[in-house]
Amino acid sequence: MNGIEMVQDPVCLMSIDPKLVANTIMHNGKTYYFCSDQCRNRFEANLHLYIGLPGHPAPKQHGHEVIKKRSLKLKRPLTENQSSVIVTDLENMMGIKNVHVEAGCIYITYDLLQATVEQIEMTIVKTGEKLGSGLAENLKRAFIHYLEETELENLENPGQEHSH
């Protein structure tokens, strides 16, 4: 590759030129490079998922994926153009496997080690759309956030008890 030594993003495993990367983190004397804010945010939230713990290799180092399928209810049905914008924005996120919009719902499949439902929701909101806001929808989303956070903590710290 023309003598350029590439580095690997620990979250999405993309090879990147370290001279072109603005997203870096120093941890225990080592520099980690990221292709995007999304990957850096995932790393910062659960870094041991990507670098492991002594005696416990990271799930990502083994090519591990945690595939999730979710349906997110929107406040109102979308036009074809609005659906297209949301699908494009979501498909541009790391870890998104499949997106389908039908009436007032977004059906999405993603790798939890690369994207969380919270990040997906933020991407939807950035397009100008609103998620369903009834009590049931808010409770459902809060429960999913909690489940994902707990699952990631359990993967990050194998064999340790967690108290939430």
Residue with tokens 């180092």: 61
Amino acid 69: pLDDT = 96
What CA–CA distance (Å, rounded) separates 20 from 83? Answer: 33
Give the domains, in start order, of the chain with CATH numbers. Answer: 7-62 (2.30.170), 67-156 (3.30.70.100)
pLDDT tens per residue across span 79-108: 999 999 999 999 999 899 999 999 889 999
Is it the case that residue 145 has pLDDT exceeding 90? Answer: yes
- Among 47-61, 81-95, 150-164, the range with the most confident prediction by mean pLDDT is 81-95
pLDDT at 160: 58
What single-letter DSSP state applies at residue 4?
-
State the pLDDT at residue 1.
47
pTM above 0.85, yes or no: no
Tokens encoding 28:
């225990």
